Amino acid sequence: MKFKDYIIEAKRMILKANIKKKISKELHNLTTPKNKTVFFKKIPLQDIFDILKKYGIIVLQEDRREWSGLLLGVTGSVYFDVAPIASKDDNDAYIPFSNAILALQWYKIHSNKYEITTYMG
Protein backbone atom coordinates (compact mmCIF):
# COMPACT_ATOMS: atom_id res chain seq x y z
CA MET A 1 0.00 0.00 0.00
CA LYS A 2 1.22 3.44 -0.83
CA PHE A 3 0.75 6.36 1.52
CA LYS A 4 -1.64 7.95 -1.00
CA ASP A 5 -4.05 4.99 -0.61
CA TYR A 6 -5.23 6.16 2.76
CA ILE A 7 -6.00 9.49 4.38
CA ILE A 8 -5.27 10.61 7.93
CA GLU A 9 -8.00 12.79 9.46
CA ALA A 10 -7.45 13.85 13.07
CA LYS A 11 -5.56 10.59 13.82
CA ARG A 12 -8.23 8.56 12.01
CA MET A 13 -7.25 6.38 9.12
CA ILE A 14 -9.57 6.28 6.11
CA LEU A 15 -9.14 3.53 3.51
CA LYS A 16 -10.07 4.62 0.01
CA ALA A 17 -13.13 2.88 -1.43
CA ASN A 18 -11.34 1.67 -4.55
CA ILE A 19 -8.76 -0.18 -2.42
CA LYS A 20 -11.50 -1.82 -0.31
CA LYS A 21 -13.18 -2.91 -3.54
CA LYS A 22 -9.95 -4.43 -4.91
CA ILE A 23 -9.33 -6.32 -1.67
CA SER A 24 -12.91 -7.62 -1.56
CA LYS A 25 -12.57 -8.83 -5.14
CA GLU A 26 -9.39 -10.74 -4.31
CA LEU A 27 -11.00 -12.25 -1.21
CA HIS A 28 -14.00 -13.30 -3.32
CA ASN A 29 -11.66 -14.88 -5.88
CA LEU A 30 -10.00 -16.85 -3.08
CA THR A 31 -13.24 -18.34 -1.79
CA THR A 32 -15.29 -18.40 -5.00
CA PRO A 33 -13.00 -18.47 -8.06
CA LYS A 34 -14.97 -18.23 -11.28
CA ASN A 35 -18.13 -18.15 -9.11
CA LYS A 36 -17.58 -21.74 -7.91
CA THR A 37 -17.48 -22.18 -4.16
CA VAL A 38 -14.27 -23.67 -2.79
CA PHE A 39 -14.45 -25.81 0.35
CA PHE A 40 -11.38 -25.62 2.58
CA LYS A 41 -9.88 -28.24 4.91
CA LYS A 42 -9.18 -25.39 7.34
CA ILE A 43 -10.10 -21.72 7.55
CA PRO A 44 -7.59 -20.07 5.15
CA LEU A 45 -6.52 -17.29 7.51
CA GLN A 46 -2.98 -17.04 6.18
CA ASP A 47 -4.21 -16.72 2.58
CA ILE A 48 -6.67 -14.01 3.65
CA PHE A 49 -4.04 -12.15 5.69
CA ASP A 50 -1.56 -12.41 2.79
CA ILE A 51 -4.05 -10.64 0.49
CA LEU A 52 -4.35 -7.81 3.00
CA LYS A 53 -0.58 -7.58 3.49
CA LYS A 54 -0.20 -7.21 -0.26
CA TYR A 55 -2.06 -3.91 0.18
CA GLY A 56 -0.05 -2.94 3.26
CA ILE A 57 -2.86 -3.79 5.68
CA ILE A 58 -2.68 -5.80 8.89
CA VAL A 59 -5.43 -7.49 10.93
CA LEU A 60 -5.73 -6.34 14.56
CA GLN A 61 -6.84 -7.74 17.88
CA GLU A 62 -8.58 -5.65 20.54
CA ASP A 63 -5.38 -4.04 21.87
CA ARG A 64 -4.57 -2.69 18.37
CA ARG A 65 -1.67 -5.12 17.94
CA GLU A 66 -1.33 -7.70 15.17
CA TRP A 67 -3.99 -10.40 15.50
CA SER A 68 -2.92 -13.75 16.90
CA GLY A 69 -5.44 -16.41 17.79
CA LEU A 70 -7.68 -19.26 16.79
CA LEU A 71 -11.12 -19.52 15.24
CA LEU A 72 -13.22 -22.33 16.62
CA GLY A 73 -16.62 -23.82 15.99
CA VAL A 74 -18.70 -25.44 13.31
CA THR A 75 -20.05 -22.06 12.30
CA GLY A 76 -19.14 -18.53 13.23
CA SER A 77 -18.41 -15.02 12.19
CA VAL A 78 -15.89 -12.43 13.23
CA TYR A 79 -15.19 -8.82 12.31
CA PHE A 80 -11.58 -7.70 12.57
CA ASP A 81 -10.31 -4.15 12.75
CA VAL A 82 -7.62 -3.52 10.17
CA ALA A 83 -4.85 -0.94 9.92
CA PRO A 84 -2.06 0.15 7.61
CA ILE A 85 1.18 -1.64 8.43
CA ALA A 86 2.92 1.74 8.22
CA SER A 87 0.92 3.04 11.21
CA LYS A 88 2.79 0.86 13.74
CA ASP A 89 3.98 2.81 16.77
CA ASP A 90 6.74 2.22 19.34
CA ASN A 91 4.44 -0.04 21.39
CA ASP A 92 3.74 -2.35 18.41
CA ALA A 93 0.20 -0.95 18.17
CA TYR A 94 -1.45 0.27 14.97
CA ILE A 95 -3.95 3.02 14.13
CA PRO A 96 -7.02 1.21 12.73
CA PHE A 97 -9.01 2.41 9.77
CA SER A 98 -12.24 4.07 10.89
CA ASN A 99 -14.08 2.98 7.75
CA ALA A 100 -12.85 -0.57 7.11
CA ILE A 101 -13.11 -3.99 8.73
CA LEU A 102 -12.44 -7.53 7.62
CA ALA A 103 -15.58 -9.67 7.82
CA LEU A 104 -15.16 -13.45 7.93
CA GLN A 105 -17.84 -16.11 8.23
CA TRP A 106 -17.38 -19.88 8.16
CA TYR A 107 -19.55 -22.95 8.10
CA LYS A 108 -18.29 -26.52 8.41
CA ILE A 109 -20.19 -28.82 6.05
CA HIS A 110 -20.83 -32.56 6.40
CA SER A 111 -17.52 -33.47 4.70
CA ASN A 112 -15.59 -31.62 7.45
CA LYS A 113 -14.62 -28.84 5.06
CA TYR A 114 -15.32 -25.16 5.52
CA GLU A 115 -17.35 -22.82 3.36
CA ILE A 116 -15.91 -19.33 3.79
CA THR A 117 -17.32 -15.88 3.12
CA THR A 118 -15.00 -12.92 3.58
CA TYR A 119 -14.92 -9.30 2.47
CA MET A 120 -13.78 -5.81 3.42
CA GLY A 121 -16.63 -3.86 4.92
- Is residue 2 assigned to a domain? no
Task: Report mean pLDDT in 10-residue bins for the chain, 121 residues.
Answer: 56 87 96 92 96 97 94 94 94 94 96 95 93
pLDDT at 1 (0 to 100): 53
Q: Is 85 exposed, middle or buried (0-12, 13-18, 19+ CB in 10 A)?
A: middle
pLDDT at 2 (0 to 100): 55
pLDDT at 13 (0 to 100): 81
pLDDT at 95 (0 to 100): 93
- Is residue 88 assigned to a domain? yes
- Is residue 19 assigned to a domain? yes
pLDDT at 3 (0 to 100): 56
- Its pTM stands at 0.87
- Is residue 104 assigned to a domain? no
- Is residue 7 assigned to a domain? no
User: Could you give the number of structural domains in the chain?
Assistant: 1
Any residues with CB less than 8 A from the CB of 119 and at least 6 apart, and which? 24, 27, 28, 102, 103
Any residues with CB less than 8 A from the CB of 88 and at least 6 apart, and which? 94
- Is residue 3 assigned to a domain? no
- Is residue 26 assigned to a domain? yes
pLDDT at 5 (0 to 100): 60
Beta bridge partners of 104: 78, 118
* Residue 50, domain extent: 12-99+109-120
- Is residue 25 assigned to a domain? yes
